[in-house]
Amino acid sequence: MSHVIMQFGQCGNQLGEELFSLAFSDLVSSSSSYWSNSCSRDSWFHHTARGLRARSVLVDTESKVTAGFRKSPLWAFRSSNVVSSECGGSGNNFALGHCVRGPQVREGVLEALRRECERCDRVRGLVALGSCAGGTGSGVGTYVLEQIRDLYPKKNLISVLVVP
């Protein structure tokens, strides 16, 4: 069973990168059995011919944060799961993120989430990472999470918010 991580805004994307880096280093350094590592790996990553790809959807209204992620030869974010609109950001404004930017990125985010869920054998739940300050993490994040709750009413939905 897998979890799909939704990363909203600068805070959520940076937090997600650290989460997956930590999960990967834990898998590599673990002295557990192969089966245990395989199950853990499959919960966080999808194995491809080019290495491991994080089970994650990255959402931002600016591409500066997601473009700066390091490209590891061992694991990476799937580029098709990066949803970024060059609309100038949300300007630390919840209302702008929720009422304007959220509807602008809605279709791209839901499509990326659908594709990522289809790659999983079974999705246990969705985890949203973001900040309760700012416009993308809070405004776009809450708008998209409302849409996700309508589409996946029986899935566990966990929101992890950073309070400034």
Q: Record the pTM.
A: 0.89
**pLDDT score recorded for residue 35:** 43
Nearest to 62 by CA among 46, 38, 85, 39: 85
Domain hosting 39: range is 2-162
**pLDDT score recorded for residue 34:** 52
Q: Are 14 and 134 in contact (CB under 8 A)?
A: no
CATH number for the domain spanning 75: value is 3.40.50.1440
Q: From first to last of the 164 residues of the chain, give the pLDDT tens digit.
A: 788 999 999 999 999 999 998 888 888 776 555 545 555 778 888 888 888 899 999 999 888 877 777 666 678 888 889 998 777 788 888 999 999 999 999 999 999 999 999 998 889 899 999 999 888 999 999 999 999 999 999 999 999 999 98
The encoded tokens of residue 109 equal: 């985010």
How many domains is the chain partitioned into structurally?
A: 1
Separation of alpha carbons 106 and 123, rounded Å: 21
